[in-house]
């Protein structure tokens, strides 16, 4: 089976792209022994990537005293899910009710809407993943799970499929669900709007809602979905000085 076409949009210059490639080559050809390379990943992580990790860490810390699960909508390669697992293990290792659930079709953009605009990257299947990637992701997350206390209780789940359908089914099967933190990274209008509508009755005071592309001209659909469901004048939209595009709000 041939590999899928993997394409993303990065708002970087040619020089920045060359620098990123050089850093990757240095990582790929690192003289550090295999048994130590994971202990020294900070050598090769870019400033931008480290900034996003710190941003996610800041959001997670805001919900430590809030009851509920963590959900990510549009998890693609799943790095945030692994980070959330690590943060839970650091700050609340015995909180087995802090489940982490990722929703994604793993087939790239689906159900594009006219409100999504006409950027070149907006086409069916953009931001897909490699063949059988979900199997790899689940193995990675399972391995991380074994490093935490009470690992016999599964606390991280990847739900593959159209999130507008799988989220509705999940909430029907788990009506007790309270959402402490939801991160939206669909980029596009239709699934963002529908999932916002579905979770409205499952959030509480202190819930954090994060968004990856608000006020971003290449992906207007995410902002329009938030505007239509929650309104832009209802909550204070906040951002981190570390990252230019992600933002968040706290239910108060």
pLDDT tens track for 37-71: 999 999 999 999 999 999 999 999 999 999 999 99
Q: CA nearest 222: which of 248, 188, 195?
A: 188
| Overall pTM > 0.85 | yes
Angle made by CA atoms 219, 208, 150, in degrees to the nearest 5 = 115
Q: What span, in angstroms and rounded, lies between the C-alpha atoms of 225 and 196?
A: 8
Element containing residue 133 per DSSP (H, E): helix 133-146
Q: What percent of the chain has pLDDT over 90?
A: 88
Helix (H/G/I), strand (E/B), else coil: 35? helix
Q: What span, in angstroms and rounded, lies between the C-alpha atoms of 181 and 35?
A: 35
Write the CB contacts of 63 (distance below 8 Å, at least 6 apart in sequence): 70, 180, 181, 206, 207, 208
Q: Is the pLDDT of residue 11 over 70?
A: no
* 238 close to 248: Cβ distance less than 8 angstroms: yes
When mean pLDDT is compared across 9-23, 78-92, 185-199, 212-226, the lowest value belongs to 9-23
Looking at residue 8, its pLDDT comes to 59
Q: What percent of the chain has pLDDT over 70?
A: 95
Query: What's the token pair of residue 173?
Result: 């099967």
Cα dist from 218 to 58, 191, 214, whole Å: 26, 17, 10
- Mean pLDDT over the full length of the chain: 93
Angle made by CA atoms 126, 171, 182, in degrees to the nearest 5 = 55
Write the CB contacts of 214 (distance below 8 Å, at least 6 apart in sequence): 222, 223, 226, 237, 245, 246, 247
């Amino acid at each position: 089976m041939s590999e899928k076409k993997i394409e993303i949009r990065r708002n970087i210059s040619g020089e920045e792209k060359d620098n990123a490639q050089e850093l990757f080559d240095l990582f790929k050809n690192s003289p550090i022994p295999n048994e130590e390379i994971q202990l020294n990943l900070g050598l090769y992580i870019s400033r931008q990537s480290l900034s996003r990790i710190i941003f996610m860490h800041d959001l997670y810390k805001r919900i430590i005293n809030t009851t509920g699960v963590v959900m990510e909508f549009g998890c693609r390669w799943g790095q945030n899910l692994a980070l959330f697992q690590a943060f839970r293990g650091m700050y609340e290792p015995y909180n087995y009710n802090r489940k982490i659930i990722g929703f994604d079709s793993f087939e790239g953009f689906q159900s594009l809407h006219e409100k999504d605009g006409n950027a070149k990257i907006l086409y069916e299947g953009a931001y897909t993943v490699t063949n059988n990637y979900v199997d790899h992701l689940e193995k990675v997350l399972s391995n991380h799970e074994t490093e935490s206390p009470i690992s016999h209780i599964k606390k991280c789940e990847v739900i593959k499929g159209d999130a507008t359908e799988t989220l509705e089914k999940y909430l029907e099967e788990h009506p007790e669900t309270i959402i402490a933190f939801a991160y939206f990274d669909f980029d596009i209008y239709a699934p963002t709007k529908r999932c916002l509508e579905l979770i409205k009755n499952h959030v509480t005071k202190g819930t954090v809602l994060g968004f990856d592309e608000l006020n971003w001209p290449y992906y207007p659909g995410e902002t329009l979905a938030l505007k239509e469901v929650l309104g832009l004048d209802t909550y204070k939209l906040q951002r981190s000085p570390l990252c230019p595009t992600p933002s968040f709000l706290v239910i108060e």
